[in-house]
Every structure is written in structure tokens, then in C-alpha cells.
Chain A
């Protein structure tokens, strides 16, 4: 298992390097100018050249890439002239906000998806199963930004139960305030996860229920719930994979959900940075998302080894 961990970590390095190259190239083939948003509208060409020089943007692309990589390796993520703050500080703040949202979304998504999927599997073919399938399909198909706006119309504008945006009220900072602010963005963000997880849980459980050992358990006189425990253990592996990847997605921050709810996380930070061609923030932000995703993948793989002894043997 340790060997596998080392091997997977080793594989993560070239993956991430590849990601950095793609990010760097993509940023630089985009039309637009990282200085356009900083310069006064009628600043002269000389002003632009001076600013480009002070930001190191006048060097050739490969040189900039290598020097950026070197900086990142030394923990220096750079400075955002657009936000006038250090990127590490900006990202740190945004990432902690995204985690506050992702924890809520993931809890809703995974718990909701698992419960719905299990429920459907146990009532296979019944009306309840069909309702769950429709809801799950709906969750996957409905765009999260549409759900977000709908939630705002219902719970903020009409019922006035929840704040329409932001991360906390001005005068209160307690847990209830957090819940009030996170409820809608977390729900909007969790819709897809609920759908995906529910479908996978249902499929995997139904497949496992069809296996011979379940008949054996039944013959031995185990109760439905006791059988479920055994079935769940066997069916867990693909569910953990899917659920884990969903958590990975959520930790990356959702540009749309965060923008609609003015939630100052990584998604909103990146959204602003794209508009401003704020390369330092974009590169570091995308890298952080990639690292999160790779680590989440790794965690899922390791979890599977823990859950499924067959995989341990194979490894």
C-alpha cells in the first residue's frame, strides 16, 4: 500500500507539471492584455512598456514559465497588480472560503445522493425508485446557475428567509449566520453531486444485490438492514470513487455559483482574474485546483484500498 502511495505521488508530479504548461500556454494565447485593466484608458505606449517591464511581462514566454515554476517551487506565488495583494494571501483567503462552501455542498451532495440512491435501490422498480431516478436525472441535467437564480427568487426575493449573497452578515458571525449564507450556494452546488452520487449508489447497490452471496445471507435469515450492511461494503468502491471526485470538483470552487452568490472563494477570484487577465492569480489558482483534484484522487484510491481487500491484493 505504501508502495502504491509512493508510486501515485510520483505520477502526480508529471501530471501537475503538464497542468502548469497547459495553464501557462492557455493564458498566453487568450486575446486581451493583462495590462489593459491596470493602465489608465489613455496611458501611452511608453507607459505600457514601463509597466510590462516592471511586471516582467516583456520577457519571452519560456523564460517567464521557468521563472514562474522556480518561484512556485520556492513557495512564491507572486503579486497581483490588479488586486494589489500577494497571490498567496488572496488564494489563502479565497480557498478557506471555498472550503466553507465545499464542506456544506459535499455533505449535502454525498449524504443526499447516498440516501436517495440507497432508497431507490431498496425499492427497485417501485414508484419511489422512479421518483428518485427522475430527481437524480434532473439534478445532473439542470444547470447549477439556473438553480441558483431560482433559489434566490424563492428564498430571498419572495420569502425573504435567506440573504441573497455574501458570506456573512455585517454584524453577526455565528454558526447560524454561516448556515443562512451557505444554504443556497451549497444547495445549488450540490445538485449535480446529489444526482451523480444517487445514480451511482443505486446502480452499484442493485448490482451487488443481484450477487449470489446476498441469497446466501437471506437464506441464513439475516434482516434487510443486516444484509444492506454487507451489500454496502461490497458496493462501496465505485460509489467512493464517484463521490470523491465530486468532492474534488466542489473543492475547486464553482465559478458560476460563487459569482451568483457573491461568495468570495476561488471560483469568484478566478472569474475576476480571467476578466482582468491577472496571470499571477490565474496560474496559481488553477494550480491549486489541480493539486486539490490530484490529491482528492489519491485519497479516493487509498480509501478504496482500505475498503476493498480485493484491491489490496491486486496492489
Chain B
């Protein structure tokens, strides 16, 4: 087409107009969003809080935007941390013991899984596991003791053909207690631990069992592209970096999943997850930006918030003056306004006065915990004879799964502590560097410049919650990863007793006592419990928000 200058002028005016309109739309959309205006959002007929209990239907396709940077790699030990287990691991694989994560009333505890019964010998070292019969892998091959031995060989037996160094590293803690294992018969296994280790029940909730046939067929390297477990869902499509699709396993050994299809997408950017939900691209989004909570609620989405074993804390270099004085650490504990911090993050957290929240079996109810008491904090600092202002450098992560919103939270702490005479300088580090710091310890030469660091462990298992404070885990004692250098005979003694206590209620009491020692010593000062923020459309039914890092997808369906 021949175009005259006049025609071009018109074209350009059009371009300029479109640009101007786009900018205008942008600003009005922003306004609507901040004011929660109805025009910007779809509004459901009514807000339905009964979605969780609705078991009236089945079927549908559920599309989930994960906060992970990638699709979790479905090997025996999955990548992408909590989301790896939550969205892929717990669906594709069953574990030797499985927790009751289908309910939301209490923190799930280990129960029957691929093992139906387990007995411990009188010397407390040998575990005899009765395995479930009639279970089939997704490839049709039978599950039996050989499959369990094969899976354990991949992690523990360097001479095994399919031993995998990267799986062995990823699984090091879940199998750390195991001294030996053997098949007794097709459905009986014997596992011997290095010392009396009642926590093995928790460890076994992490023992995924993949299909030996699939691994032999594809080899360690290619196996994740063809992952096969016995779980309630099987993988039908997997594009690394993009998407994973799963459909229910119709031969599952207990209640089958209700969905027709489950699709998970990695979307590391919070704004993108939120937009994907609002545009109808997904039905469920993990951790949207917290300032969108009110707007989402008013637009009829179900915003789910529930406590689960996950606490954020500052860990101190307990060997470095003046933080070697327990009163200084306690002062910081009382100097943080946790309730104020909750409003900074739009209510997406719950004040953590101890590592364990109220109602958790491992909380020490004889200790009130750290609530905001600046007068007491100042008194403690005075008692310790600290010259004010005290300078303190804190290393904190700029992001990382499960760290909530470190920037605004740390700035709140900075502001609070200033009021009691402590000047905090914040050192932002990448999550990987914080992990490295945690491994090496604040007392190692590289990290001595920091007085404390921000950390956020999974506290669902005894070792996840308390393992990092054992003296034996200080690197100079040959272990890993005690980042604070905390070394207490009382605490270690209680943990040793708990590890050898096979009666669950008695074990809980010992762990609660250990928590009490740790909290009074204030090697760490917890400040926030994550509430597992996620949001879904009103069509998503039957999802029970658990007090756990993973739930049970079998009960979920999508209303058409």
C-alpha cells in the first residue's frame, strides 16, 4: 500500500492515542485497585465460607499458580521446598508413613501410609515395618519391600547401581538416622537406627517411594521426566519450567481424588499470580501480595489464612558480646511489637511469642513468651549494663520461599528496637547466602560481622523445629547446621530424652520442655508465624487448609 505523509500522520496519531489511552487505563485501574472499587474486579454473588466443607460434587480442572520459580522436579526428593511436596510430591508419591493432613484442626501427626504397622524392638533400635499389600505404581507394577529397598539404596547405598549423589544430598536428613535396612519378606522391612530414634516416624513421612521399574528403565538422569509413584495423582504432562498436569490415579488404594485434572504453573512474581487469578487463568494462587487481601475478599474470592508450623525468627551469635548475655537477647524479644507488625503485613501473619504457637503440643505453656514490653526490655538492657545506643547488624533475606515479606518486617523491628536504644543496621542478602550463613554459623569468620540473622524453618518435625540448636550440630563438633552457636546441656538432654521416648504424649511433653529452655535462653527470638496465605475462586471446593506444609488434594473439586 502506498502511504502518503498525511496517511502516516494519521497512523501516528492513532499510535499516540492508543498509548495515551493505555496510560490512562493504567492509572484508573490502579486507582480502582487501591480504593477497592467494584469496577475493577469480578464480584461473586456472595462470599461463601463453606467451600471447605462442600463435598457435594466432584470433577473439574484445578489450575494453580505456585510461587515457585520452576515446576518442582518430581524425583524421589523434590525441588522447590514446601511447594515441591505440597503440589507434586504429596500427589505423585505415597510415603512409608503419612500424616493426617486432610484435617485442619491440629498439626498432622505421622500415621499409616505405605506401611500399615510399625513396631520397635525392646532395645529401641530395630523398626519392623508391615507394608501395605495390593498397592500398585502408576505403571502397573506392584509396590513391595523390594521397592522400598531400591528407594533407600538410591540414597544410602553408594554401591547400588542407581545410587544418586544429588538425591542422597537432598535426602540426607530424612535418612540420617538409618544405620541399616533389609527386606524380611515381600511385605516386611526392617530398619535399624544408629541410636534410639523415635523421630524416625517423622522422618518416614518424607520417604517417597518411586517405581523401581521406571528408574531402571529411564536411568537416574531421565527419570524425573517419567516420574512414577503410587500417589493419588499421576503425571500426564510435564514441561520443565512451564507446567505440570496430573490426573487422578484410578487404582488408588484409598479414596480417589475427585478432580478431573490438576494443573500447576510456576509464577515467581506475586503481581503475576494475582493477575492470573483475577483474569481467570488460574483458580488458585499462592501468596498474593498481602495488600490485595481486602480487595480480594470484597471481590468474592476465598482468602485462606491458617496457622501452621512455621515461624520466623532472629537467631543471635550467642558467643559475641553483648549478645552473649541472655538479658540482651531477651530485651530484643520484648522490644518487638509483633501486633504492630501484623498490620504492616495486612494481617497475613500471627505474632510469634514462642517458636511454637498456642495450641501446638510443643509449646511450653509454663512460659508466657515474648510479647511487646518496651519497659521490661529497657530494664533488661540496663541490668546487662549495655551502653546505649547499642549497634546491631542483622542479615536478612531479600526473598525466598516461606520468608513472607522480610523487608517491611525487618524495618518494623528496626523501628521498634530504636525505641529501646538499639540501632539495627539491616544487611540484605540473597536467600542462598542466608542458607550458607546458616550452614557455616554466625561465628564463622565470613559471617562474624553479623550479630543476628533472619531465618524461617519448617517446624513441623522435632528436628526441623529444634535440631538446629543442638550442640552436636555446631560445625566444630562435627555437625551442621547450628547457626547461632547455642550450646545448652539442658536443651540437649531433653532432646536426647525425647528422641528415645516412643510414647507420643510423653515425647510431646519433653519437646515442650526443650522449647521452654530454648525460649528462656533466647538464642533465637521468634516474631511471626506465617499464616500460609493463599487465595482461590469460590468454585474451588473441598480444600481443607491444613496446619501443615502440605494438605490433601483428594477432596478438592471445582464447581462448574
| Residues of chain A whose beta carbon lies under 8 Å from any beta carbon of chain B | 31-33, 35-45, 47-48, 50-51, 54, 81-85, 90, 93-94, 112, 115-116, 119, 122-123, 128, 131-132, 135, 149-150, 152-154, 156-160, 162-168, 170, 224-225, 259-262, 264, 268-269, 271-272, 274-277
Contact among A37, A224, A259 with B269 in the assembled complex (CB-CB below 8 Å): A259
Q: Are A33 and B16 in contact (CB under 8 A)?
A: no
Cβ–Cβ contact A39 & B12, under 8 A: no
B480 contacts A42, CB within 8 Å?
yes
Decide if B169 touches A122 in the complex (CB within 8 Å): no
Chain B residue contacts of A261, Cβ below 8 A: 269, 272
CB neighbours (8 Å) of B79 from chain A are 82, 84
A85 near B22 with CB under 8 A, answer no
B435 in the interface (beta carbon within 8 A): yes
Most-contacted residue by chain A among B15, B22, B33, B172 (CB, 10 A): B172
Contact (Cβ within 8 A) B430 A32: yes
Knowing that A119-B9, A164-B275 touch, tell me 10 more A-B residue pairs with CB under 8 angstroms. A42-B468, A43-B480, A45-B479, A47-B480, A153-B29, A158-B29, A160-B279, A225-B5, A261-B269, A275-B432
Contact in complex: B432, A277 (CB < 8 Å): yes
A31 to chain B, nearest CB (A): 5
Q: Which of A41, A43, A163, A166 has the most CB of B within 10 A?
A: A41
In the bound complex, CA of A158 to CA of B429 (Å): 35
- One of B43-51, B235-243, B349-357, B532-540 at the interface: B235-243
Total B residues in contact with A, Cβ cutoff 8 Å = 77
> Interface residues of B: mostly helix, strand, loop or mixed?
helix
Q: Does B436 contact A (CB under 8 A)?
A: yes
> Whole-angstrom distance between the alpha carbons of A262 and B276 in the complex?
11
By CB atoms of chain A within 10 A, which of B63, B73, B166, B479 has the most? B166
Q: Are B69 and A272 in contact (CB under 8 A)?
A: yes
- Interface presence of B265 (CB below 8 A): yes
Known: A36-B436, A43-B172, A167-B242. A54 touches B165 (CB 8 A): yes
Contact A84 B221 (CB under 8 A): yes
B463 at the interface (CB under 8 A from A): yes
List, in ascending order, chain B residues with CB within 8 A of A83's CB: 70, 73, 240
Contact call B165/A50, Cβ cutoff below 8 A:
yes
Specify which of B19, B275, B457 is in contact with A156 (CB 8 Å cutoff). Answer: B275
- Minimum Cβ distance to chain B for residue A299 (Å): 29
A128–B15 Cα distance when bound, in Å, is 11
Asked whether, in the complex, the Cβ of B169 is within 8 Å of the Cβ of A47, the reply is yes
Chain A CB within 8 A of B122 CB: no
Given the known A-B contacts A160-B280, A170-B245, are A262 and B5 also in contact in the complex, defined by CB atoms under 8 Å?
no
In angstroms, Cα B269 to Cα A149, docked, is 10
A274 to B268, CA, bound (A): 14
Q: What are the residues of chain B within 8 A of A38 when measuring CB–CB?
A: 166, 169-170
CB neighbours of A84 from chain B (8 A): 73, 75, 79, 166, 221, 224
In the complex, whether B171 has a CB less than 8 A from a CB of chain A is yes
A135 to B23, CA, bound (A): 12
Q: Contact between B242 and A166 (Cβ–Cβ < 8 Å)?
A: yes
> What B residues does A149 contact at CB under 8 A?
271
B278 adjacent to A48 (CB under 8 Å): no
22 contacts between A and B (CB under 8 A): A33-B435, A35-B169, A40-B169, A41-B435, A41-B438, A42-B481, A43-B169, A44-B479, A45-B480, A48-B169, A81-B166, A84-B79, A128-B13, A153-B29, A164-B275, A164-B279, A166-B242, A262-B268, A262-B269, A268-B69, A275-B430, A276-B432
Instruction: Across the interface, name the chain A residue whose C-beta is closest to B26.
Output: A150
A122 to B281, CA, bound (A): 44
CA of A132 to CA of B431, assembled, Å:
43
Q: In the complex, A275 Cα to B397 Cα: how many Å?
A: 11
Residues of B within 8 A of A162 (CB): 279
Q: Which residues from chain A contact B457 at a C-beta distance below 8 Å?
A: 41
Q: Which of B275, B467, B478 has the most CB of A within 10 A?
A: B275
Min CB distance A220 to B, Å, is: 19
**Which residue on chain B has the smallest CB distance to residue A260?**
B269
Closest chain B residue to A166, Cβ basis: B265
B 219-252 to A, binary, CB cutoff 8 A, 1 in contact else 0: 0010010000000000000001111010000000
Contacts of B432 in A (CB 8 A): 32-33, 36-37, 275-277
Chain B, 463-492, contact with A by CB distance < 8 Å: what is the 0/1 string? 110011000010100111100000000000
**Any A CB within 8 A of the CB of B418:** no
Question: Does B274 sit within 8 A of A, measured CB to CB?
Answer: yes
